[in-house]
Amino acid sequence: MAWGISNFENDSAQEWVEELVEKGKATAIAKEIDTFLKNFKPSETDMMTCCYFLAAAEIVAAVKDDPADDIPENVEDWIKENKLKTDEALVKKAIDGLNKITRGSELKEMYEGSHLYDDWMDVQKDLLTRLKRG
């Protein structure tokens, strides 16, 4: 099982991204974000669901031309092939979901119990900055 601090550095996100790139439509990103926001409950939303959301939020930042340093090349290609454009409403939803995860979630709790917490939070702060920029 792969697990690290990056939002693309875990099995759940990697599987979600692979499926998106192989057969997903651009609407899958908005659907993932909307479904997450609709169903999020701090004590009930599992780590895997949070990881999917964070990968989707990273793609939103990449569409804004502010990708993570470690964005997979196939994701960058997929964004270009699908000619994705910035959607400010989706950006605001991505920010909202990111704030929910970092305020209280199973994923945050998992990192809080490890030596990786501060680094993980730095990654999330960077994502928030990239989403808000421009």
- Structure confidence by residue, pLDDT tens digits, 22-60: 987 888 999 999 999 999 999 899 999 999 999 999 999
pTM, to two decimals = 0.94
pLDDT surpasses 60 at 1: no
What average pLDDT does range 120-134 have in this prediction? 95
CA distance 36 to 30: 10
What's the mean pLDDT when you consider all of the chain?
Answer: 93
What average pLDDT does range 114-128 have in this prediction? 96
pLDDT digits (tens, 9 = 90+) for 107-117: 999 999 899 99
> What are the C-alpha distances in Å from 116 to residues 3, 44, 48, 103, 110?
11, 22, 18, 17, 10
For CA atoms 88, 90, 92, 95, the dihedral sign is negative
